[in-house]
Every structure is written in C-alpha cells, then in structure tokens.
Amino acid sequence: GSRVRTPSDPPCSSPFFGDGFGLISGHYTNYLMLTLICQCLHAQSRRMARMSKDTWISEILAGEYDGQEVELKGWIYRSRGSNKIRFIVVRDSTGNIQCVAKREVLGDLFFDELKSSLIESSVILKGIVQPTDREHGHELQVLSGEVVGSVNPDRPFPITESAMAEADGGETEFLLDNRHLYLRTSRMTTMLKIRSSVFGAVHSYFRDRQFIEYQAPNFVAGAVEGGSTLFEVPYFGRKAYLTQSWQLYAEAAMPALERLYTIAPSFRAEKSRTRRHLTEFWHAEMEIAWASNNEVMKHGEGLVRHIASTLLDERSDELSSLDRDLNLISQYADNPYPIIRYDEAIETLQGKGVEVEWGQDLDYSKEKILTADFEVPHFLTHYPRIAKPFYHRPDPDDPKYVLCHDLLAPEGYGEIIGGGERTWSEAEILERIDEEGTPREPYEFYIDTRRYGGVPHGGFGMGVDRVCTWLSGAEHIREVIPFPRDSRRVTP
C-alpha cells in the first residue's frame, strides 16, 4: 500500500537530490527546491492513496476486517430496499458483498444518489465490516462514499434476463454481441481466472526445466498444417499468411537454444464452427533438441499434469463453483497417461462397428469414441505417414508410419496436443516435401536447419483454449476465451 507522509516524518531525502544538487543552486535555493519537490510528492501520494485500492471483497468475506472501517471499491451488482434503507450488493474481481446503506446515516444527498444508481455503476463505499449469519457471512454498514462512474438511466446495463430471453438471434448471439460487458459476469470472471492459471502453469513448467521462451513471426510465407486452413493476407502487393504454428521457426532456433517454448496465437481458417475450433487460438508449443518421440511425449504428459495440479492449488474454488468434480482433476494430475498405437485405435473403432479406414486421420467423432475407454488423457502414436504433414519423421523400423503423437483428453473431449519427432536429415525432408507436392521455395530456411548440422529433435503444440475448455468442463471453446473468433464473428 502507499504510505502517506506525516508531518513528523524526516524531510524528503531522495538520493537524486543530494549533495550534487547543492553545488549548482546554493544551499538556500536547494532547500526551497527540496521543500517544493516534497510538497509535490505529498500531493501526489495523497491522490494515489485515494485512487489505489487496498481492500478486496474476498478479504472481507474471509473475516480479515471484522469490526473495522474499510474503503470498498467496486461495482453495483444488485440493489433493493426502501426509501430509508438500501441493500446494495457490490462486486469486485474477488467476490460480492452486501452493503447496507441508511438514509439517516448517509444524509439525503448521497442516499438518493445511491438509491438511483443503476447496476454496474462504480462506487466507493466507506463503512464498518459486520459479520452476519446471512448468506456470505459479512456485510458492510455504509457510513459515506461516492458514486464514481454512474450509469446513464437512459442506457441501463444491457445484459438482463428479459433482454436475453427477447433477443432476436437467441441468448448466445446476444451475449456474444455484448461480450465486452458479459466479461463482467461471474461465470466469465471465473473462466478467465482459470485461464490465467493455465497460462501461468505453462510458463512455470517450461521455465523450471530450463526452456527458453522464444517468439516466431505471425506473418509467414507458407503452411505448416496444410493449405486448407491458411489465412491469406494482402502484404504490400504480395500474399502472406497468418501462422498456423510457431514450429518451423522454432526449429530454426533449435540448434541455438536446444530447449524452447512459447505461448502465442495461431490462426486457422476453419470454416466449420465446432465446440473445439477457433480461427484464432492460443498455442503452447515446445521444441527440444536431441529428443525422441517418447521424450517429447513425457513433456506433454508432464505439462498437462502440471496444469491440472496447478488448477487444484490455485483454482479449486472456481472449479467447484462451476460444479467441476475435483476428483477428476486430481486423476489428471496424478495418474500416468497410457500410450496406444494408431493401429490399435483403428482396431478398437472397427471392433465397435465404426466405419473407419486405415490411413485416415481421426476426426472428432472417432476421438470421442476412443476417449470413452480411458479415465485420463491417452496418447495415440505412429499415425500412417500419409495422414500427417511433411515435417513428421518416418519410423525407421517401418516407414509406413511416422513417429508422432496426439494426446486425447477424456470425458469425450479429444485432441489437445499434436506433436512428434521431426524429419532431420536433408535427404529425408526433401523426400517428404516432394511426396506431399509442397513447393520447396518457402521452406528453404527450414531445410537449412538440416543442411547445417541437423540433429534428432521434436516438439508438440497444445491448444491452450482446448485445455481450458476440457478442464473447466465448459460446453464450448468460446466460453473460455475473452473474445472468441470463428468464421462468422470478428466483433466486438
């Protein structure tokens, strides 16, 4: 918190204005200047004290301020009562608390202002914290305060039960149109807190293991994951594309850094709108030198387990508020993830009467059936070479297959990670590029990685929004990202 200087404090003695300052201006001027500067700092710190916030609703609800006077800053969530007494629920980023405002205490002016303040007006309320036996266990008995940002009565907060019910395009579209305001609801706040912990866990997992965070360009010249989902952008008379993955540029830095990772947006022009697809999603990717497919999978498993255990540590209240079963999350944190081969998966599917041919990539309908047999995420490895992009390394034991993996999340969720070992000799990468019919030219820089001291290496990409969706138990990927982008929506 900011400490306001009291008159008895020693005079301002900033090291910046010590002896050297006196040489220029003489002792008396020096003294005057210092006094002036001190006064400025004084005034500033008083303003800062008013504007900074040091009391949070979660702390009040935890009983840290019982019987004490506090200054509460937040937004009106609900307001009811009479002409004499108002029960105003105030929210901040940490919770909600009921504030009791009485005309006889506040006086007519402020009481009437509060009474007429609409939902989502911002307020500062000073008062005494009182433990109660009502719902949340604590109330604020308001003594004074101010309305900081009042809501114009001609334009009340648009998100209401009746507006949702009456919206032309239905509730979902209405909430997406008002996404900037919907972010303030407790469900979105909860999702965004969970999301923040997932991002934090990705960083801590890799940083604790000496990975270097590395950034690749988002404007690129070629595809990584096939041309059909490439976003083309005009680029000064030429064409450029939005990146589908950081991977190729990470491989260029692999001989320099050996262990690298990122969290960055990736772009896919996915026309179909599904529960798992965004056109702009957040991609956690890693690349590691001198590593096999198995070692890369160990990191994938390690990362997902670390995310699950971080959520249990940091966000179990939020998960419970979403009715998420914490035992499931514990299983994802504690139990090892099984590994099965693509061929076994095909047999399983065929055994269940699913029509699927060897050589096909597995789409969501098939992944969903496969995940039903597992309580924790499981890896599918060794896909047919024809099903995967050129960068995947053919298995030296049987080059019909590539050394790759997908990690499928349980509860019917499906793919959250794709990765594997990379083709790392020049001859092999040229063969793979040519057999795919991909032009070599945009990938010359990539081929150079092999020409100049190629080494075995691999990596994976994890869809962060997908992991948030699965772990929070959300129905749809758009629930876990602030401003979801799909083929029909780039606003707000």
Residues that bind ligand 4AD (CB under 6 A): 224-225, 244-245, 247, 268, 270, 277-278, 281, 283, 285, 415-419, 459-463, 465-466
Nearest distance, CB of residue 224 and ligand 4AD, angstroms: 5
- Smallest separation, CB 225 to ligand 4AD (Å): 4
> Which CB atom, from 285 or from 479, has the smaller least distance to ligand 4AD?
285
Question: Between residues 115 and 276, which has the closer beta carbon with respect to Mg ion?
Answer: 276
216 contact choice in ligand 4AD, Mg ion, none (CB below 5 to 8 Å, kind-dependent): none
- Which whole-number Å values give the CA distances from 431 to 228, 384, 437, in the listed order? 22, 16, 10
Which residue, 65 or 460, has its beta carbon nearer to ligand 4AD?
A: 460
Report in angstroms the alpha-carbon separations of 275 from 372, 467, 472. 18, 13, 14
Give the separation between CA 400 and CA 266, rounded to whole angstroms.
29
Binding partner of residue 394 among ligand 4AD, Mg ion, none, CB under 5 to 8 Å per kind?
Answer: none
Q: 245 touches which of ligand 4AD, Mg ion, none (CB within 5 to 8 A by kind)?
A: ligand 4AD
Gap between the Cα atoms of 198 and 307, Å rounded: 6
Cα separation values, 17 from 23, 25, 284, Å: 11, 11, 48
Residues 6+ apart with CB under 8 A from 488: 273
101 bridge partner residues: 86
The CB-of-273 to ligand 4AD minimum distance in angstroms stands at 10
Give the nearer residue to ligand 4AD in terms of CB position, either 142 or 254. 254
CB of 210 to ligand 4AD, least distance (A): 19
461 interface partner picked from ligand 4AD, Mg ion, none, CB below 5 to 8 A per type: ligand 4AD
Report, in Å, the least distance between residue 215 CB and ligand 4AD. 14
| Measured distance CA(417)–CA(413) in Å, rounded | 12
Residues that bind Mg ion (CB under 5 A): 418
Which of 235, 203, 206 is CA-nearest to residue 219?
235
- Residue 292 CB contacts under 8 Å (≥ 6 apart), including other chains: 403, 421, 456, 458
Closest CB to ligand 4AD among 377 and 454? Answer: 377
Of these partners, ligand 4AD, Mg ion, none, which one is at the site of residue 117 (CB under 5 to 8 Å by kind)?
A: none
Taking the least distance from each CB to Mg ion, the nearer of 49 and 386 is: 386
| Residue number of the CB atom closest to Mg ion | 418
Instruction: State which H helix or E strand residue 153 sits in.
Output: none
* Rounded CA separation 307/297 (Å): 15
Q: In what order do the strands lie in the sheet with 231-235?
A: 219-220, 238-242, 231-235
Query: Given the structure tokens 């035992």, which residue do they identify?
Result: 327
In whole angstroms, give the CA distance from residue 200 to residue 193. 11
Q: Is the peptide bond before 234 cis (omega within 30 degrees of 0)?
A: no
d(CA 356, CA 475): 27
Rounded distance between C-alpha atoms, residue 434 and residue 430, angstroms: 6
Please, which residue, 26 or 217, has the CB nearer to ligand 4AD? 217
Half-sphere exposure of 176 (CA within 13 A, CB side): 19
416 three-state secondary structure: strand
Name the minimum Å distance from CB 414 to ligand 4AD: 9
Least Å distance between CB 354 and ligand 4AD?
Answer: 21
Considering the complex, state which of residue 75 and residue 246 has its C-beta at the smaller distance from ligand 4AD.
246
Least distance (Å) from Mg ion to the CB of residue 406? 6
Supply the DSSP string of 308-367, one letter for each residue: HHHHHHHHHHHHHHTT--HHHHHHHHHSPPPEEEHHHHHHHHHHTT----TTPPP-HHHH
Residue whose CB is less far from ligand 4AD, 127 or 419: 419
CB of 411 to Mg ion, least distance (A): 19
When the beta carbons of 77 and 383 are compared against ligand 4AD, the nearer one is 383
Which of 300/418 has CB closer to Mg ion? 418
DSSP 441: G
Shortest Å distance, C-beta 394 to Mg ion: 18
278 binds, among ligand 4AD, Mg ion, none (CB under 5 to 8 A by kind): ligand 4AD
User: From the CB of 449, what's the least distance to ligand 4AD, in Å?
Assistant: 14
Cβ atoms of residues 297 and 405 within 8 Å? yes
Give the one entry of ligand 4AD, Mg ion, none that residue 459 binds, where binding means its C-beta sits below a cut-off of 5 to 8 angstroms depending on kind. Answer: ligand 4AD
